[in-house]
Structure 1
Amino acid sequence: MLKKAIAALLLAAPLPALAQPAASTVPAAVQPRLIIAISVDQFSADLFNQYRPFYSGGLKRLSEGAVFPRGYQSHAATETCPGHSTILTGSRPSRTGIIANSWMDLNVARANKTIYCAEDESQPGGGASGYVASPVHLRVPTLGQRMKAANPAARVVAVAGKDRAAIMMAGANADQVWWLTPKGYASYQDIPAPPLVERVNQIFAQRLAAPNPGFDLPPQCAAKDIAVSTGPGKTVGTGRFARPAGNFHAFRTSPEQDALTLAFAAATIESMGLGKQPQTDILSIGLSAMDLIGHAYGNEGTESCIQIDRIDRELGAFFDQLDRQEIDYVVMLTADHGGHDLPERHRQNAMPMQQRVDRALTPRALSEAVAAKTGIGSKDLVRGDGPSGDLYFSLDLTRAQRARVETATLALLRAHPQVEAVFTKAQIAAAPSPSGPPENWSLLEKARASFDAERSGDLLLLLKSHVTPIADPAHGFVATHGSPWDGDRRVPILFWRKGMRHFEQPLGVETADIMPTLAALIDLPVPRDEIDGRCLDLIAGEGDSCRGN
């Protein structure tokens, strides 16, 4: 049964449009038995709306529920880890503590001072070569944790392509948390793989060992089939995801990854009997391939177009399988952030101002320039992960030296034509937490939503909207996200349940609103002073699914 279920979802060819279940009204007071929370990494609101006329599977079904096409990851640091931390906590990164994929702690007792958001740096290892995965940095409870606190029988499960997606959506004390590695799905060090995971990993190994000839080009993708040069002998924009046998990176950077994750999720529901007991269970699913595809190829070529078509079809097959099990489930789908296409393609398509970041803005170059300007010869006066985001000053500086370094760094950055703004830690800390429509927030308010006094840097560098913070696309990523601009902040937020009456709300809402909205469906009280989001009423017309929440 398991092998059949997984094989059915590892699709080798496009599926026809799936029949949708007949609508039947579910009384608002009836609690769903299973919550399915899906995050599609780097699935921007722009992409969701661009391909909406072509959906025929799972995305079509979700588009017939409660649709918020203008959702916001409202903070400034629009990266994977902080984005996932907002989805099922009801809180912005300033409250979750997950300010970025990584930050620096210059006091940590190891040579590598970079802290990964989903690691426990107190354990041996750490850094690029290895770490102990953990939710220890997440400062607030997830929906699953709150459900377990209210009823210990509730099962909390997470399956994702990335560890940070699974961990940030599940939180602590989850029953099962799994993410994809080159050897298959893995979890925390002290959790042995149950028979289900062992079988899934066997099927993964078999699939990886076979080559993939690639995917057919859907008709709606034909106009995207244009090669864009990103360096000598390298182009993107025309790929079909052909993969040689055994290439894990190519498997991961393709629709194959998400197909496997959905197959695993479907098998988990069946194996654990999720949604079949009196209490409500929750399953979070992190579909991570879109992000890797966006980084490797950008989001306006055949690669992205094929990926979205496959997600639509595979989600349809996934929901179709759930329907056959007669589970009363509610689905929420959103994204951890949006994305910005590569500047080379933008310049071909009416945007000549698009450019790559100047290497002078990298932390190493800034350190050298500040050292030359101040005469302070410390090797790492300014540290950071890249040419945007949080910057940290050396702890070896005296108070007077630090003041000189800050003054010099601010002067250099504010004079640079690619820099939109630089805020000091004191400026951000003094700003009130933002309120009101997220589309109207100032840059400082967006920065405040990402700020943590313990983890944030001494300065926050924000580039102009037309600047991609990747200096050289020839040896790695060609496009990225992470900015405070709306292309990276806007994401779709979709809710669907059998019998739900469709409506669309085009005004802005936040991903922090998702958790209290789902909590209200199961009558789980959430103190309003513990979160940043608000409950969204999912009943079209009269009635209120929030019921006072």
Structure 2
Amino acid sequence: MSVEKPKLVVAISVDQFSSDLFAEYRSTFTDGLKRLTQGAVFPSGYQSHAATETCPGHSTIMTGAHPGRTGIIANNWIDLDIKRDDKTVYCAEDERVEGTSFGDITAATQGDYVASAWHLLVPTLGERLTKISPKSRNVAVAGKDRAALMMGGKQTDAIYWFNGKSFETAKGGSVSPAVKLVNDTMAATLDKARPPFGIPAQCEARKAKIAHGDGKSVGDYAFARPEGGASMFRLSPDYDGAILAAAMTVTRDMKLGQGEATDVLSVGLSATDYVGHAFGTEGLEMCIQMSALDKQLGQFFSVLDQAGIDYVAMLTADHGGLDLPERATLQGMSDAQRVDAKLNAKDIGAAVKAKLRLSTDKPLLHADGPFGDYYIDLSFDAATKAKVKTEAMAMFAAHPQVHSVLDGASLKAMPMPTGPVEEWTVAERTRASFHPDRSGDFLVVLKKGVTPIASTARGYVATHGSPWDYDRRVPIMFWRKGMTPFEQPLSVKTVDIAPTLGALIGLDISGEGVDGRCLDLDAGEHSTCK
């Protein structure tokens, strides 16, 4: 490997690209993903924390810090002190702006929020670099605003994400003429009918219809879109193609990697996540997506090659994922199941209220879902709050789908975990994504195989977010022209990525507030960490 600093760092996150998916499809890769396997491969990477969601996962990649330090404890959390009626906070919004609302960030009718990285409490690698090297640029392009903002940080030279119709940038900014051309091209085709993708030979055996309720099924869809089907765009490989097209355009337009100093380009690819949620991880749809992703990354790397850019590429994921239980039970996972619809803040809170004979119209508990952070309403005195907490934790713990219930005060008192990440306890994994100012009074952990989606009526059939390895384990790969390939099967962490890339560009980010360590990418006697 060259000892010269690369002119461009390309950090790619493939949303929901688990180590399981990587292992399952690795032998079929022939293009971009194949190239990455010819570099330094760490197949047992870990998003080491328990809150394995998009925002926390992306916050670790370019900061080198666990979510417990980045402050990004989940995609959404509760802040009972904010002024607006809806107390839910989105990880990539600035709720201080008057008139904003959370709404439902994942729905078509989302809230009117201002996308922002202000919740991110630590700097990213790109921010650190541009602070000491003014000629360097820090750029992020992603499918989701939270991916771009968490990898780019508060200070970027250019940042873009897809809003459902086009690529936009941070409030107060405007897209460049080059990105506007990308948007114009998309606008002309987004709502047009699209024929199905061809089915690769290795995917034929995956074509099997799986019913999941309400007369709906998955497993036999090749991403054909009807006229007016723009809402289905994100649920297809075309989505990643558009994100990479925007990234290529920005790279050319800004001449990234062609100046005097090193630039950083963070790219967040989101289609794998949307496909996983809508169709699961083990069917025809995901097989087609893996094949398309391999080819699209190959085209992206070819553009960088043709420009003569000396770049280092890193690819990982923000989290993994679990297949829908209806198919998992047919494939040997007998304990796979959907969560009990009554396992939630409202129903458990009502049961606690009845047992304690509390006369109040206020809800006792607040949460964003059946698992994760639970908050006790602020209207109670300390004694009542303690009783509510004890009873609620006991009721959750008694539920047959709950693995454990962890006390927030106990987690706060724990040190940040160290040692082999695969050996961390559930409490240690939860501590890594616990922040005392944002996390709940207690946290609920579901058992392995429990999908926290009670009904598939809204279109999501599978998800992630647990402390279990199917959600924690992600591949980590580094590639640079001329490097000697090697594979290291032992565990590493996504918080190791930023220190590793930092060492390549002469930027030491080790020290207080950084949980990762530099990984030596040279297979010989030389170390890239020195």
TM class by shorter chain equals over 0.9
Q: Residue by residue, what CA displacement relative to the aligned partner does 1:349-375 show, whole Å, maximum 9, x if unpaired?
A: 122221111122111111111111111
Aligned equivalent of 2:358: 376
Asked if structure 1 preserves the Cα contact closer than 8 Å seen for 2:126 and 2:138, the reply is: yes
Identity across the alignment (%) = 53
* Mapping of residues 456-471 of structure 1, within 5 Å: 456-471=439-454
Do the aligned residues in 2 keep the contact of 1:413 with 1:419 (CA within 8 Å)?
yes
Aligned residue number for residue 281 of structure 1: 263
Aligned-pair Cα RMSD in Å: 1.0
Other-structure match for 2:404: 421
Distance in 1 (alpha carbons) for counterparts of 2:495 and 2:164: 32
Match of 1:65 in 2: 39
SS in 2 for 1:126: coil
In structure 2, distance between residues paired with 1:377 and 1:315: 59
Q: What is the alpha-carbon distance in structure 2 between the residues aligned to residue 409 and residue 329 of structure 1? A: 52
Write the mapping of 1:2-21 to structure 2, written as runs, cut at 5 A: none
- 2-structure distance, mates of 1:475, 1:175: 37
Answer yes or no: is 1:391 the counterpart of 2:365: no
- Greater displacement, 186-195 / 95-104: 186-195
Matches within 5 A, 1:395-544: 395-544=378-527
Partner of 2:292: 310
Question: Quick check: 2:192–2:230 contact (8 Å CA) kept in 1?
Answer: no
| Within-5 A mapping of 1:322-401 | 322-378=304-360, 379-401=362-384
Q: What's the CA shift string for 1:496-518, capped at 9, x where partnerless? A: 00001000000110000000000
Q: Structure 1 length as normaliser, TM-score?
A: 0.94
Q: Separation in 2 of the partners of 1:294 and 1:434? A: 30
List gaps (5 residues or longer) in structure 2.
104-110
Query: Counterpart amino acid of 1:144?
Result: G
- Asked whether 1:43 is paired with 2:17, we answer yes
Secondary structure of 1:81 counterpart: helix
1:321 CA drift (Å):
1.6
1:127 aligns with 2:110: no
Q: Which amino acid aligns with 2:411?
A: I
Aligned to 2:156: 174
Deviation readout 1:223-267 (Å, 9 max, x if unpaired): 211110011321001110111233232101110110011111111
Question: 2:494 & 2:461 partners in 1: Cα distance?
Answer: 27
Residues 11-70 of structure 1 show CA distances to partners (whole Å, capped at 9, x for unaligned) of: xxxxxxxxxxxxxxx42x200000000000000000011000000010000000000000
Contact 2:124 2:153 in 1 (8 A): yes
Residue 84 (structure 1) aligned with residue 66 (structure 2) = no
Higher alpha-carbon deviation: 425-434 or 138-147: 425-434
The one-letter code of the counterpart of 1:119 is E
Q: Do the aligned partners of 2:499 and 2:510 also contact (CA within 8 Å) in 1? A: no
Secondary structure of the structure 2 residue equivalent to 1:493: strand
Which runs of 5 or more residues in structure 1 are unaligned? Answer: 1-25
| Counterpart check, 1:30 vs 2:4 | yes
Report the CA distance between 1:400 and its aligned residue: 1.4
- The count of aligned residue pairs is 521
| Cα-to-partner distance string for 1:77-108 (whole Å, 9 max, x where unaligned) | 00000000000000000110000001110010
Q: CA deviation at 1:450?
A: 0.5
Does structure 2 conserve the Cα–Cα contact (< 8 Å) formed by 1:357 and 1:470? yes
- Aligned to 1:479, the other structure's residue is in SS state coil
Separation (CA, whole Å) in 2 of partners of 1:380 and 1:153: 53
- Counterpart residue number, 1:56: 30
Match of residue 258 from structure 1? 240
Output one character per residue of 1:156-195: Cα deviation in whole Å (capped at 9) or x when no partner: 1111000000000000110111000133001112001221
Distance 2:403 2:417 in 1: 20
Counterpart residue identity of residue 419, structure 2: G
Matches within 5 A, 1:60-209: 60-124=34-98, 125-128=100-103, 129-209=111-191
**Conservation of the 8 A alpha-carbon contact between 2:135 and 2:260:** no
Q: TM-score w.r.t. structure 2 length? A: 0.97
Output one character per residue of 1:320-360: Cα deviation in whole Å (capped at 9) or x when no partner.
12111110000000000000001000111122221111122
Q: How many angstroms does 1:527 deviate by?
A: 3.6
| Equivalent position to 1:268, from 234, 244, 250 | 250
SS in 1 for 2:265: strand
Contact 2:510-2:517 at 8 Å conserved across structures: no
What is the aligned partner in structure 1 of residue 107 from structure 2? Answer: none
Question: What residue is the counterpart of 1:214 in the other structure?
Answer: 196
CA distance in 1 between counterparts of 2:58 and 2:506 reads 23
User: CA contact under 8 A between 1:208 and 1:245: conserved in structure 2?
Assistant: no
